[in-house]
Structure 1
Amino acid sequence: MYANQFDKIDKFAEGPHYGPVLTPLMVKKVRARPELNPLLTPPPEEGTHDFIKWNMLFSTAQCQRSCDPSHRSWSNGRNAPATWPRVTSLRLVSRAIPAPIEVPAASAEAGVTCGDVIEAICNYMNGRLTQQQYNTASDAQKRVLSEAYYHNRSTAQGVPGGRLPQTLLRFDWLGQDTMYGGCEANEQLVRDLCGGLPCVYELKTVRRYPMSEQEIEEHERREAEAESRRSRSRRRSRATSRATSVATSRVASEQPEEDEY
């Protein structure tokens, strides 16, 4: 009876669950082969599972689950484990990016979640391209970088525009292939790029498509909501900082002079 109940537990359900959270070293030692959460994998041909839709030029507020309506940002599954068994960290590699993406778990008890993976990709893509990375690019890649740089900062639909910094970012390296295409195991690629380390998966990128008018409207609404949340967070942070400064100054002014002792 208990065994049957145990077998019915969803191994990718959100929250801490049965089984350990393995380090990559432990995964290698026990020769485990962690399975990726289907939500993170490429879109299926037959529609057998949900997947993530996301243009990596934008914040994770623009992520959507394939089964959600167009106006809804992804929430269901963000805290689900990214792998089974769960792991403390993983790495993403691709021939489309200049360096690996490290994905640590935000919670040691829960292991790496789907949200951790997407946030790590977002943080990586918005990082600055180093001079060394630019110098190692081929002439063809430098042309792609130049075209992407100006297009991503233009008034064209489907790009962030002039609010981007006036420096090359890692997502400029992608050219037009800025759509998240899912993650999957690719042993040959892993061996080629990092010698066959455990807990390393391929990040696939896909060419972005023209958005419909409805998609543009929904996209702009989600971006406005995300910016509003960021603004409120910045105001709270500044208010807390001012309150702390005032309290510190008051305490300092109330301290007796040394010659009062």
Structure 2
Amino acid sequence: MAWSSPNTVIPNLPGVSPHNIPIPLTPAGQPMQMPMYTSQQQGYYMHAQPQMQMQVPMYGQAYQPVQATPFAGYQQPPYGASPYMMGGQPGMYPGQARERARAREDNPPLDKWMDGSTYGPVLDGTTATILGVKLQINPVLRHHSEQDDEERLSWDVLDITKEAHLMHGSDAKAWKGRDASATFPRMDRLILHSTHLPGAIEVVGSSKSGAVTCGDVVAAIHEFVKEKLPRQVYDSVSRAKRAKLDAMYHHNRSGKPHTPGPDFGTGIRKGDFLEEFTSFDGLDDNEDYVTAALGLGKKRKESAKDDKSPAKRLKQRRWVGHLELNLDHRGGENVEVPEITVESPETATKSLEEEDDEDDSDEYEQALRAKADAKQKKKRGKANVLQQQQQAMYMPGMVPMQGGVMYSAPGGYAGMQQPMMQPMMQPMMQQQPMMGGYVPALSPAISGYQQQQLPRTLQGNIQGHPNLGTPMPGYRPF
């Protein structure tokens, strides 16, 4: 109930008017004239009639005085009081209805895709992954099916970014939302994966707030496809793929429709690796594909019996910021690859697929042969290794020496010096001969195991003649 004079219409807006009572905003007629009398004191009884304020508002105010004609529109309501106000006066009412509507137009609701540094956080990949954030992709960059009747970005990734435009059905228009945020919540970087690309694309935000915008995504894709293809990637693909890359290199620089032309650069680029799939088809938050692209395998459903170890939890966690880049056929016919044949004396001409199969079989046979050789070498044992050492160290021209053991000729002792002696008159080290078939005593050239394999006469000679050195294995006594 509005506490005011009878037959007085009060313009009302929910949440603004102190009365907050929805009433029709229709022009009111001439109110009942009341005689002027002395104003009442502050406060009155509930059965008393509130006084009529006869003051005339200043020119330009929203309400007209009571003395105006019935056609003057909304009139100024009196300052009424309720029993709860104790005669107090409420504040001024809002303006006309058209003025309130204009206020709504001047303050539209915020768009969550707009870029700015004063609202909303900019998350990094680690924080978003820990929080388990579900990213929302900008509708312009989102992957749409053919049945969706929404605006989508039309662009060939080999063309410059200025060629990107919006398509709604068959109507094309300029793209003005390059500075809009690419995701919500906003991210400082994104990682794009695709089955057609030889690697991942890293998109770093360049806006004032540090968030990734739609323009950043388009620019990062174009810069990636313009990079030169590494030689390791070119050598790792099959011969058929290399022939296709060579054909795409010449086709993309021929100047034909749907090609970038000679300005794309010399040398095979990563854009040539895409073949005919160069049309941008949107981004998709495909969790299964991203998990497989990161080498984490397929994600399975959790159960109560699963191990809650950090490795298991890491595998089951959703990696935020990694998106799938979809590329579609750019239209037109496929680039034909000239058939390359290899002639050999035994066989006739072969196709590239047959040559690849033969190369794979040869590599498999070589791997099996190497594995068998390693296994056979391991079975020989230490005795065979010792025998190989004896054959390698055998020297012709040996003469018999004392003890029945063959040593080298006396010329091997030329230039030898007296051994150094310790205080207990024991040799500290043996002399190194100029030539000969032995090594100094106490040398690690022959181990204790090898000495045990030598004949007993040779072992006794080693123990009886330490100053002569240790004979090399393979010398037979007479």
Q: Would the TM-score normalized by the shorter structure come out above 0.5?
A: yes
The whole-number CA distance in structure 2 between the counterparts of 1:54 and 1:17 is 32
Q: Cα deviation per residue 1:17-52 (whole Å; 9 max; x = unaligned)?
A: 632000001101111111111110123434443111
Q: Cα deviation per residue 1:68-108 (whole Å; 9 max; x = unaligned)?
A: 965x553x210110000001001000110001000000025
2:180 paired with 1:58:
no
- What is residue 245 of structure 2 aligned with on the other side? 145
Q: How is 1:188-207 mapped onto 2 (pairs within 5 angstroms)? A: 188-194=288-294, 195=296, 197-207=319-329
The whole-number CA distance in structure 2 between the counterparts of 1:22 and 1:185 is 17
Question: Structure 2: which 5+ residue stretches go unaligned?
Answer: 1-13, 16-103, 297-317, 333-478
Provide the secondary structure at the position in 2 that maps to 1:52: strand
Aligned residues: 207
Q: How is 1:24-103 mapped onto 2 (pairs within 5 angstroms)? A: 24-67=125-168, 70=172, 73-74=174-175, 76-103=176-203
2:331 to 171, 191, 209: 209
Shift of 1:166: 2.1
More helix by share: 1
Rg (Cα) greater in structure? 2
Shift of 1:131: 0.7
**What is the aligned-residue RMSD (CA, Å)?**
2.7
Q: How is 1:151-170 mapped onto 2 (pairs within 5 angstroms)? A: 151-170=251-270
CA contact (8 A) 2:132 2:320 kept: no
The whole-number CA distance in structure 1 between the counterparts of 2:138 and 2:244 is 32
Provide the secondary structure at the position in 2 that maps to 1:42: coil
The whole-number CA distance in structure 2 between the counterparts of 1:104 and 1:137 is 30
2:273 paired with 1:186:
no
Shift of 1:15: 3.5
Provide the secondary structure at the position in 2 that maps to 1:66: strand
CA contact (8 A) 1:81 1:110 kept: no
Question: Structure 1: which 5+ residue stretches go unaligned?
Answer: 211-261
Q: What residue identity is the alignment partner of 1:36?
A: I
Q: What residue identity is the alignment partner of 2:323?
A: Y
The whole-number CA distance in structure 2 between the counterparts of 1:85 and 1:36 is 9
CA contact (8 A) 2:205 2:213 kept: yes
CA contact (8 A) 1:104 1:112 kept: yes
Considering Cα pairs closer than 8 Å and 6+ residues apart, tell me whether 1 or 2 has the greater RCO.
1
The whole-number CA distance in structure 2 between the counterparts of 1:186 and 1:138 is 29
The whole-number CA distance in structure 2 between the counterparts of 1:49 and 1:155 is 32
Of the structure 1 ranges 133-142 and 81-90, higher mean CA displacement relative to structure 2 is found in: 133-142
> What TM-score do the two structures reach when normalised by structure 1?
0.72
The whole-number CA distance in structure 2 between the counterparts of 1:108 and 1:26 is 20
| Identity percentage of aligned residues | 30
CA contact (8 A) 2:135 2:320 kept: no
